[in-house]
Amino acid sequence: MDAEQQLRVLLDDPRLADDLKSIAQKVLDHQRITFDEGVTLYEKGELSYVGVLANYIREHRHGDRTYFNRNFHIEPTNLCVYDCKFCSYSRLIKQRSEGWEYTMDEMLDIVKKYDQEPVTEVHIVGGVLPQYDMPFYQQLFSAIKEHRPELHVKALTPVEYHYIFKKAKVDYATGMRLMKEAGLESMPGGGAEIFHPEIRDQIAKDKCTADQWLDIHEEWHKLGMRSNATMLYGHIESYWHRVDHMERLRQLQDRTGGFQTFIPLKFRNKDNQMSNVAESSVIEDLRNYAIARIYLDNFDHIKAYWAMISRNTAQLSLNFGVDDIDGTLDDTTKIYSMAGAEEQNPGMSTRQLVELIKQVGRHPVERDTLYHVITDYENHEFADEPKPQFYKLPVIN
């Protein structure tokens, strides 16, 4: 049975409550759901129900295609002037003796380490410190582009931009234009957390506000550039805070169309000031992906950051609205392993990622940052590496 037939069977089920039926009908008709319907999905939508709706949307947009890219991360420092309660980089958690602060040359050395690798993107993000100011990042981006012009620089979030622009006394529009001129090509989705002040003030008090986060993305989009958005979920927020978060993103996307991908980030509770907060279950994670796919009708892609959720959950997520499972990473990504992510050393070769996707009946496609196809792996044979073995999951659809 294909995704549309599954949705029609669900609609014909006399046991389905009227409000859920009306949402399912909207999805079939490609109509937008309301804020209240978003909350209803969280409160009443069982995993199998939201999965059928989300998979219909996913397959309508992308078929079986599942994207990944080859990137590497640079985290300039694991020290931070801010004190986000969920973060293992916070100034109250991290003592200076355990920290690193890379110099410009050390960061360029990391870039050079990948000179012979077919990576297409460098993702730069980490803590906020005064010495990493606007001239520093302008120089870093220019130096990377000079060294390897085709490497896409995806760097920093409104948290850093708000901080460095304030110090440099430039407004957001000017600041973003100058970063673009220095070599910045897109903005990752971090720093969004939960927008509503009821929650943001408790978990991420001092850093940029929701409006500042959204304004910086808006200025970036006005330059014709693209960015991502995240949501840190599964801690002290209520369901309606998640819908409020997605609603703000949906409204900005209606105005600019500049977001590419939405990335729900599961809260992990190790080594931070919220270790007493239990983590969400896998069922809740999958429901959250699905509801994001249904609610964000103007976002092209929903990404599961597999380093954060385990490989098996990443595989399952492909049936719950997700069409992208991030890049092939190496062990330079520390923020998640420090917070308790399953993948303590989250490296996966391209072949491993391809097999992971194929194993659940999807079609792997390597993309660049802007979703141009680099390699279609549907019928690709790997000559040189042994086939990786994974625990075999049943194919659900």
Q: How far, CA to CA in Å, does 104 sit from each of 128, 136, 162, 186, 327?
A: 15, 8, 21, 20, 24
The mark string for 215-234 relative to ligand V47 (x by CB under 6 A, - otherwise) is -------------x-x-x--
Q: How far is the CB of 36 from ligand V47 (least distance, A)?
A: 27
193 binds ligand V47 (CB under 6 A): yes
Distance CA 268, CA 317 (A): 18
d(CA 295, CA 306) in angstroms, rounded, equals 22
Q: Which of ligand V47, ligand SF4, none binds 248 (CB below 5-8 Å, type-dependent)?
A: none
Q: Residue 228 touches which of ligand V47, ligand SF4, none (CB < 5 to 8 A by kind)?
A: ligand V47
Token pair for 118: 């077919």
Alpha-carbon distance of 218 to 226, in angstroms, equals 10
Contact 186, 125 (CB under 8 A): no
Q: Which stretch binds ligand V47 (CB under 6 A): 32-40, 165-173, 183-191, 208-216?
A: 183-191
CA angle 47, 189, 261 (to 5 degrees): 55
Piece in contact with ligand SF4 (CB under 6 A), picked from 36-44, 81-89, 136-144, 172-180: 81-89
Residue 30: other Cβ atoms inside 10 A = 10
User: Residue from 126, 175, 189, 346 that binds ligand V47 (CB under 6 A)?
Assistant: 189
Helix (H) or strand (E) holding 35: helix 35-44
Kind and range of the H or E run holding 233: strand 226-233
In angstroms, the CA 78 to CA 99 distance is 6
Q: Which of 23, 128, 304, 314 binds ligand SF4 (CB under 6 A)?
A: 128
Of the candidate spans 79-87, 142-150, 234-242, 287-295, the one that interacts with ligand SF4 by CB under 6 A turns out to be 79-87
**Cβ distance to ligand V47 smaller for residue 27 or 110:** 110
Rounded to an integer, what distance in angstroms lies between the CA atom of residue 57 and that of residue 265? 21
Question: Quick check: 58 and 324 in contact, CB under 8 A?
Answer: no
Distance separating alpha carbons of residues 187 and 156, to the nearest angstrom: 6
Minimum distance from residue 81 beta carbon to ligand SF4 (Å): 7
- Considering CB distances under 5 to 8 angstroms, the limit depending on partner class, which of ligand SF4, ligand V47, none binds residue 82? ligand SF4
Tell me which residues in 316-355 interact with ligand V47 (CB under 6 A).
Answer: 326, 335, 339
Decide: 242 and 200 in contact? Cβ < 8 Å: no
**Using rule CB under 6 A, residue 187 touches ligand SF4:** no
Q: Is 220 in the site for ligand SF4 (CB under 6 A)?
A: no
**Partner that binds at residue 90, options ligand V47, ligand SF4, none, CB closer than 5 to 8 Å by kind:** ligand SF4
Q: Which does 258 bind (CB under 5 to 8 A by kind): ligand SF4, ligand V47, none?
A: none
What DSSP state is assigned to residue 96? G
**In terms of CB distance, is 62 or 268 closer to ligand V47?**
268
With respect to ligand V47, which residue has the nearer C-beta, 24 or 309? Answer: 309
Taking the complex as a whole, the smallest distance from the CB of residue 266 to ligand V47 amounts, in Å, to 6
Query: Can you tell me which of 27, 84, 119, 314 binds ligand SF4, judged by CB under 6 A?
Result: 84
123 φψ region: left (φ > 0), alpha (ψ -120 to 50), beta (else): beta
Strands 259-266, 301-302: pairing kind: parallel
Q: How far is the CB of 162 from ligand SF4 (least distance, A)?
A: 10
Interface with ligand V47 by CB under 6 A: which residues? 86-87, 125, 188-191, 193, 228, 230, 232, 263, 265, 267-268, 272, 305, 326, 335, 339
